[in-house]
Structure 1
Amino acid sequence: MFDFLSFQKRNTDAPSEILNWRLFYGVFVFGLMGAARGLDEGLIGTTASQKSFIALFGLKNPDLSKAEQANLLSNITSMVQMGSILGALVAFYLTDKIGRLWATRELCIVWVAGIAIFLAAASNGSIGMVYAGRFIAGIGIGQTTVVAPTYLAEISPRFIRGFCVCMYSGSVYLGIMLGYFASWGSSIHISNGSELQWVVPNLLHIYFAAIIVALSFFAIESPRWLVKVGKHEQAATHLSALRQLPEDHWYVQSELLDINDQLDREREATMGSTWFAPIRELVMISSNRYRLMLSVFSQVLAQWSGANSITIYAPEYFAMMGTTGSNEKLFATAILGVVKFCSALICALFLIDYIGRKRSLMTGITLQLIAMLYMALFLVIDSSVGDEDAVQSSSQKAAAKGAIAMIYFSGAGWALGWNSIQYLINSEIYPLRLRAIGGSFAMTFHFVNQYGNSKAVPSMFIGMTTGGTMFFFSAMTAIGGAWAWFFLPELSGKSLEAVDAVFDLPWYVIGRKGKDLTVGIGGAVEAVSTEKAKMEMVEDTREVESRRV
């Protein structure tokens, strides 16, 4: 059996009990919420390529111009992103107000309600119901990007935090893969012209939401949130259960001391502040401005690197590279889902904590850049490849196969790099007081850019040509690599409370030397190494608790 403790823990003296079924159950439940994002991205592109959907909603209406057809398609695909902007905005309030568990149940109800309206449009062909249903579903789906990574980061031991949070991004690709295969299977086994071709695959949304709600009732609430709302005894009980250690164990006590110390410092610094104080803190304190910069640029550069547009419009990309036939495009798309899912698992299990966030991201960006440049050059040189009636030479056919392979390489690079980092970085850079609102801001910006990207890509193919669009994505990928090398700090192995020390450094060294310059500085969990220190840690924590009482 694979030994997570020796592989991931390495140079720490954390007790082996902390890696237990309670922890991994919580990781499974909240990680599974990533499937909400994945199912939508995997299903909407393939749904829009089903003949029954095209006919019902007039996606290829001859009375519409090419630009109008592209606009209709982009409106349908991007409506979830519009709803997700609102979902991400309200997520920080709900997550902090009602807790991580009840926020999960609430978002699942909203998600299912939207999907039900969307599917009901099959009975009357109402494009308005499609828009409304997808917008409402987006409100629920958008909340998952804040609720799940926040919870996963808060319950995870520091040396496997990357793995735990990346279970969310890995589940994105589980949803994408299942969505792709469901659409491919329905295209084979359900007759053309039947609305069931796209209704049946989209029922996966409802199945996953029901599973998540049911499982959430057996999960443990975040101890850090419980401390934040003043439920200290319950927080100690929950943390003890998560770590499978007694409440008075030095490891549990050191974590509680870190959490309480950080929260006390934050409250002391903001005593008497209004509800607007957290927003003011985000923009007025230099260390928080650096955090905001990381949130903003990680979302902009990730979304405009092009890989996410391939996820949403995968059948169109395979058609551009010479794949013909509806079933063939859907099958090729399904295999892309497998590639991305496997790449995301490799990243979560072996890279994100072992070689670090930064190296994993740079590896993914390099793969993605090579793939994008190849596809850009190919589309510029062979502009007729997407025409079904075009006659191709043997060399052109070989180059087209290479371009199809590069779609898979791009997907692998995206899963190894940006897709994991865009969720992980925002869940671990913010202090407890600002974690929900910081993550909410980041994911709002994420969906604004994803909406712009999904809305713009069909028109970009027309205005910039397919080759020009791929060159644009290549340039953005290269810029992202340069930005990550200079600005993105390595945070693997650091506790959430110890991350503050990195952002207290001068801005020009945070990204390149932040981790090395803060070794041993920060959280009590990192500082404790001897039995004497462990006993002193327990006594210090008891003294702090007695003063609080």
Structure 2
Amino acid sequence: MARLSRVEDRPTPEEVYNWKVYANAIIATWAAVMIGYDSAFIGTSISLASFKNEFGLATKTTNEFNFISANIVSVFQAGCFFGAFFGYLIGYFLGRKHGLLISSAIFILGAGLQCGTNLSTGLGIMYAGRIIVGLGIGIASNLAPIYVAEISPPAIRGRLIGMYELCWQFGGVIGFWINYGVTQHIGPSHKQWLIAFAVQLIPGSLLFVGSFFLIESPRWLVSRDRNATALTNLARLRNLPQDAPYVVEEFAEIEAAIAHERSLAGAGFFGPLRTVFTSRTLVYRLMLGSSLFIWQNGTGINAINYYSPTIFKSIGVTGTSTSLLTTGVYGIIKLFGALIWLLYMVDTFGRRGVLLAGSFGGAICMYYIGTYIAIAKPTLHPSATIGPGGRSAIAFFYIWTIFYSPTWNGTPWVVGAEMFPQHVRTFTQACQAASNWFWGFIIARFTPQMFTSMGYGVYIFFATLMVLSMPFIFFILPETKQVPLERMEELFAPGMKPWKAHDIVMARVHESRGLRDSSPKEGSFREEMDLKQNV
């Protein structure tokens, strides 16, 4: 039964699917737990009365508190932005293993600084800790998926890289629920808010320790001309002797691929940069892929992730515990939505289809919530219980989550990985990760002020952005599902209409394979898994 779940590119010995490759992938994808947790816990932590009292925020005006909370949240995103580029630098010169080790060490340092913050130190150390944690996470967000892609056997590559998204959402669930747990069991105190900050040290320390046991990527070693070590590591990962036919063949392919990439991009750190920025079509694709993260943040996702208590308060949810409980349910729905996307939707309905559906359904939900708040004005009529209108607004918020999670949550990362050839993908991945963190910073920095000045207009704003994303997706973004990497150039050929490009290119692919009348589904499975390597 295990073999039935894999589509192999060649006859593969069972030894290849061994515990070593799974263990190394799990250690690397554990970095996503750090990312998910840190993205989720901070918004609910700074809303705790114990945190506000500790730093004198309870006496601040609304504008003053919004300014401080936005700084605490957004400096993390700024650190992630620069960390994404540092990840390319560190990954090139020091490798994937040492890069993840460094990222976790930086993360632990930043988390430790946050835990050392108190009334006497003020928030200065908190800001520094948030920036440093962001640097570590930015590095990890670049290197972890690349490492897993490089060590995985093709037949299970998608499965192993899928654990990255799963770990991200798992960390998010813990982050959303942690403050609900402390409010239920610990009274308002320094200890109450400190626990959520201290929990950061757990995933960071586990990655730090685990990184010592990682087997360095054979592909990176070959790129640094350390071929003997690379062959040893490949044999260890495949659990086969170095002279086994499977290992010999795969190692020869790695050497050939590296040589081919050097011939295309040139040797050295700046080779991929020169290749991208001297090609109009690659620059266009880089702008297109990076712009998807504008629209992703335009859904309102980071406003919700970081300021969920504010979101639910605007709908009419009162009481800290109730708000945190409602936020926790949101995290669980988001986790299951991501699983549905990973296991089924993105490979069944394509990239354009899921993005269009997510924008359409999400816009309706946001318009409904904004309309309800405009009419009912729940913040002006507080009540211990939520009426039918408030419950319907919360229901539409959860429906929005159902639309977002299996669509915009991970699909931009897939498209970004698919659009670029292998010899520049490490660099373009860094650029797109930086784009994600940059636009996340913009949203995180200004969301509190938006709620103060715009009220229900915030929901109308995000809904309208989702509507505007639909013509962008339809008229500008070509469908990349099932298109082989070597044919990706054809999607962006001059005069090719994006909404027709997929059908035209796939017809050519089927004709060249002599499969015009046959289904491409089984043949495209490995291509789809390969293309997910940077999700």
TM-score with structure 2 setting the length:
0.85
Question: Are residues 308 and 432 of structure 1, via their aligned partners in 2, closer, same or farther at CA, if it must alter by over 3 Å?
Answer: same
Q: Amino acid of the residue matched to residue 369 of structure 1? A: A
Identity %: 27
Partner of 2:307: 313
Q: Amino acid of the residue matched to residue 334 of structure 1? A: G
Offset of residue 389 of structure 1: 3.0
For residues 212-268 of structure 1, the C-alpha deviation after alignment (integer angstroms, 9 at most, x for no partner) is: 122233333223222222233443444444455666677656654554444323322
Partner of 1:403: 393
User: Aligned to 2:137, which of 128, 141, 155?
Assistant: 141
Offset of residue 311 of structure 1: 1.2
Partner of 1:211: 206
User: Aligned to 1:499, which of 481, 485, 506?
Assistant: 485
Q: Amino acid of the residue matched to residue 298 of structure 1? A: L
SS of 1:323's partner is coil
User: Aligned to 1:108, which of 82, 104, 115?
Assistant: 104
For residues 517 and 250 of structure 1, the distance between their equivalents in structure 2, rounded to whole angstroms, comes to 36
SS of 1:416's partner is coil
Partner of 2:326: 332
Q: Is the CA contact 2:101–2:212 (under 8 Å) kept in the aligned structure 1?
A: no
Question: Are residues 297 and 25 of structure 1, via their aligned partners in 2, closer, same or farther at CA, if it must alter by over 3 Å?
Answer: same
Q: Is the CA contact 2:55–2:118 (under 8 Å) kept in the aligned structure 1?
A: no
Question: Are residues 231 and 195 of structure 1, via their aligned partners in 2, closer, same or farther at CA, if it must alter by over 3 Å?
Answer: same
Offset of residue 174 of structure 1: 1.1
Q: Amino acid of the residue matched to residue 38 of structure 2? A: D
- Residue 472, structure 1, aligned to residue 461, structure 2: yes
Question: Are residues 54 and 241 of structure 1, via their aligned partners in 2, closer, same or farther at CA, if it must alter by over 3 Å?
Answer: same
Q: Is the CA contact 2:29–2:163 (under 8 Å) kept in the aligned structure 1?
A: yes
Partner of 1:132: 128
- Residue 94, structure 1, aligned to residue 83, structure 2: no
For residues 278 and 64 of structure 2, the distance between their equivalents in structure 1, rounded to whole angstroms, comes to 44
SS of 2:118's partner is helix
Offset of residue 127 of structure 1: 1.2
Unaligned runs of 5+ in 1: 523-549
User: Aligned to 1:201, which of 185, 196, 202?
Assistant: 196
Matches within 5 A, 1:421-460: 421-460=411-450
Matches within 5 A, 1:176-195: 176-192=172-188, 194-195=189-190
Question: Are residues 397 and 159 of structure 1, via their aligned partners in 2, closer, same or farther at CA, if it must alter by over 3 Å?
Answer: farther
Matches within 5 A, 1:275-354: 276-353=270-347
Partner of 1:50: 48
Q: Is the CA contact 2:297–2:439 (under 8 Å) kept in the aligned structure 1?
A: yes
Question: Are residues 5 and 123 of structure 1, via their aligned partners in 2, closer, same or farther at CA, if it must alter by over 3 Å?
Answer: farther
Q: Is the CA contact 1:502–1:510 (under 8 Å) kept in the aligned structure 2?
A: no
Q: How many residue pairs end up in the alignment? A: 507
Partner of 1:546: none
- Residue 378, structure 1, aligned to residue 372, structure 2: yes
- Residue 420, structure 1, aligned to residue 410, structure 2: yes
For residues 8 and 415 of structure 1, the distance between their equivalents in structure 2, rounded to whole angstroms, comes to 26
Q: Amino acid of the residue matched to residue 288 of structure 1? A: L
Q: Amino acid of the residue matched to residue 379 of structure 2? A: G
Q: Is the CA contact 1:166–1:424 (under 8 Å) kept in the aligned structure 2?
A: no
Offset of residue 458 of structure 1: 1.1
For residues 132 and 273 of structure 2, the distance between their equivalents in structure 1, rounded to whole angstroms, comes to 27
Q: Is the CA contact 1:38–1:173 (under 8 Å) kept in the aligned structure 2?
A: yes
SS of 2:116's partner is helix
Q: Is the CA contact 1:77–1:454 (under 8 Å) kept in the aligned structure 2?
A: yes
Judge which range, 365-374 or 98-107, deviates more: 365-374
For residues 134-182 of structure 1, the C-alpha deviation after alignment (integer angstroms, 9 at most, x for no partner) is: 1111111111210112223333455654443332222222111111221
Partner of 2:220: 225
- Residue 75, structure 1, aligned to residue 71, structure 2: yes
For residues 363 and 4 of structure 1, the distance between their equivalents in structure 2, rounded to whole angstroms, comes to 33
For residues 490-528 of structure 1, the C-alpha deviation after alignment (integer angstroms, 9 at most, x for no partner) is: 55667xxx5243125416356754562574899xxxxxx
Offset of residue 348 of structure 1: 2.2
Offset of residue 276 of structure 1: 4.0
Q: Is the CA contact 1:361–1:418 (under 8 Å) kept in the aligned structure 2?
A: yes
For residues 473 and 464 of structure 1, the distance between their equivalents in structure 2, rounded to whole angstroms, comes to 12
Question: Are residues 278 and 412 of structure 1, via their aligned partners in 2, closer, same or farther at CA, if it must alter by over 3 Å?
Answer: same
For residues 460 and 353 of structure 1, the distance between their equivalents in structure 2, rounded to whole angstroms, comes to 37
RMSD: 3.1
Partner of 2:528: none
Offset of residue 353 of structure 1: 4.2
Q: Amino acid of the residue matched to residue 386 of structure 1? A: T
Q: Is the CA contact 2:74–2:441 (under 8 Å) kept in the aligned structure 1?
A: yes
Offset of residue 421 of structure 1: 2.3
For residues 127 and 138 of structure 1, the distance between their equivalents in structure 2, rounded to whole angstroms, comes to 17
For residues 152 and 277 of structure 2, the distance between their equivalents in structure 1, rounded to whole angstroms, comes to 28
User: Aligned to 2:21, which of 20, 23, 29?
Assistant: 23
Judge which range, 138-147 or 19-28, deviates more: 19-28
Question: Are residues 23 and 409 of structure 1, via their aligned partners in 2, closer, same or farther at CA, if it must alter by over 3 Å?
Answer: farther
Q: Is the CA contact 2:265–2:423 (under 8 Å) kept in the aligned structure 1?
A: no
- Residue 264, structure 1, aligned to residue 262, structure 2: no
Q: Is the CA contact 1:162–1:348 (under 8 Å) kept in the aligned structure 2?
A: no
Question: Are residues 371 and 260 of structure 1, via their aligned partners in 2, closer, same or farther at CA, if it must alter by over 3 Å?
Answer: farther
SS of 2:405's partner is helix
Q: Amino acid of the residue matched to residue 343 of structure 2? A: L
Q: Amino acid of the residue matched to residue 477 of structure 1? A: M
Q: Amino acid of the residue matched to residue 435 of structure 1? A: R
